């Protein structure tokens, strides 16, 4: 299981759920940092960027993935991307790559070749901006994801199982999200069940937690609920997590609390990986 190749001949899908409810206006952690809506918008833009760069070859981006971004806030859940991507459920990654809302320039530290670091300008694509208003219809978003994934699996029964990543503060107010999350996790290709992961941003000033295997260190009920909704990492993903210095066990789940989750892009195999000799 979880060994199907991800290729243009056998692509898979990646569904992002983006919480845009009013509570996302509150600051993360100690109260001095960014707003939760800033953090999830930035996280999503970085995830899409990493995924795109991973699949980029000269002359274009290969459609190893079809991407859906579903935002939820107010009383509704629906596609969140804009411009030519607006209103579409699943979009080939190459189209996502060629149509960010805008490109910003950011500064990044890079090695200077003499043991130090220098600032370098890099282009950073923005697909979504921070939004925060209204209620948190997380159940509706998970149900919408169920429909997107279900339809994908009908057309791609042998694909690597779709990944659904929910970026949220966990404060669902349209019912118990564990029920639609469980239904989502029951959807399966011949290669295994869909993977549901959660990135929890919280105003709680507790220590960040990355890929835990139990909920003992989680500070509140929202975190524990999201942890319980999250799939366990398949074998090969645990191996990549371990290589990135993350402590894992067989029960490790795809969940982080006030922490970065961009690394999951590197948990997906699309071919020979590159790294310098050590």
Partner 1 sequence: MLAHISTFWLPKRGSSLQEYEDAFWVGPNGDDEGEIQQRSLRVAVADGASESMLASRWANRLVTSFGTARNAARTKPGFMAAYREAVSGWDDQVLKYMTDRELRGAPIQWYEEPGLAKGAYATILAVEFSDGWQDRPPAWMASGLGDSCLFQVRDESLYASFPMNDASAFSYQPPLLASRGADNDALRRHISLKASDWESGDSFYLTTDALAAWFLRAVEAGDRPWETLRDLDTLDAQLDFTEWVDEQRDAGGMHNDDTTLVRIDMC
Please check whether residue 225 is in contact with residue 255, taking contact to mean a CB–CB distance below 8 angstroms.
no
Binding of residue 186 to partner 1 (CB under 8 A): no
Both structure tokens of 176 = 């118990």
Which positions ≥6 away from 104 have C-beta within 8 Å?
Answer: 123, 124, 125, 126
Q: Which of 52, 136, 189, 258 binds partner 1 (CB under 8 A)?
A: 52
Please check whether residue 47 is in contact with residue 265, taking contact to mean a CB–CB distance below 8 angstroms.
yes
Rounded least distance, CB 254 to partner 1, Å: 20
Q: Scanning residues 226 to 245, which ones bind partner 1 (CB under 8 A)?
A: none
Alpha-carbon distance 44 to 129, whole Å?
A: 10
Binding of residue 122 to partner 1 (CB under 8 A): yes
SS3 263: helix
Choose the binding region for partner 1 from 45-53, 151-159, 193-201, 251-259 (rule: CB under 8 A): 45-53
Binding of residue 278 to partner 1 (CB under 8 A): yes
Q: Which of 1, 8, 102, 249 binds partner 1 (CB under 8 A)?
A: 8
Binding of residue 181 to partner 1 (CB under 8 A): no
Size of the chain, expressed as the number of residues it contains: 278
Binding of residue 34 to partner 1 (CB under 8 A): no
Q: Which of 36, 54, 185, 200 binds partner 1 (CB under 8 A)?
A: 54
Binding of residue 61 to partner 1 (CB under 8 A): yes
Helices marked H in 200-250 — which ranges?
221-229, 235-243
How many residues interact with partner 1 (rule CB under 8 A)? Answer: 31
Binding of residue 103 to partner 1 (CB under 8 A): yes
**224: which DSSP letter?**
H
Which positions ≥6 away from 120 have C-beta within 8 Å?
Answer: 107, 108, 109, 110
- Residues making contact with partner 1 (CB under 8 A): 5, 7-10, 49, 52-54, 56-59, 61, 97-98, 103, 110, 122-123, 125, 269-278
């Amino acid at each position: 299981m979880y060994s199907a190749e991800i290729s243009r001949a056998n692509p898979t899908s990646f569904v992002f759920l983006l919480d845009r409810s009013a509570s996302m206006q509150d600051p993360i952690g100690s109260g001095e940092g960014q707003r939760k809506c800033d953090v999830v918008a930035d996280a999503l833009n970085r995830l899409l960027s990493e995924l795109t760069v991973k699949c980029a070859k000269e002359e274009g981006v290969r459609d190893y993935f079809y991407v859906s971004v579903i935002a939820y806030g107010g009383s509704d859940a629906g596609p969140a991307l804009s411009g030519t991507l607006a209103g579409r459920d699943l979009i080939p990654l190459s189209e996502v790559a060629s149509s960010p809302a805008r490109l910003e320039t950011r500064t990044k530290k890079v090695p200077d070749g003499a043991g130090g670091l220098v600032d370098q300008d890099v282009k950073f694509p923005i697909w979504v901006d921070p939004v925060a208003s209204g209620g948190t219809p997380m159940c509706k978003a998970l149900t919408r994801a169920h429909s997107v994934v279900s339809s994908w699996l009908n057309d791609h029964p042998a694909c690597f199982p779709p990944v659904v990543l929910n970026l949220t503060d966990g404060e669902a107010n349209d019912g118990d999200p564990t029920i639609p999350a469980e239904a989502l996790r029951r959807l399966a290709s011949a290669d295994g069940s869909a993977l549901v992961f959660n990135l929890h941003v919280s105003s709680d000033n507790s220590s960040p937690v990355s890929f835990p295997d139990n909920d003992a260190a989680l500070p509140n009920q929202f975190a524990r609920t999201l942890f319980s909704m999250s799939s366990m990492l398949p074998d090969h993903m645990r191996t990549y997590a371990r290589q990135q210095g993350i402590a894992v066990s067989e029960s490790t789940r795809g969940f982080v609390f006030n922490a970065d989750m961009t690394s999951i892009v590197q948990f997906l195999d699309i071919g020979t990986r590159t790294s310098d000799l050590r």
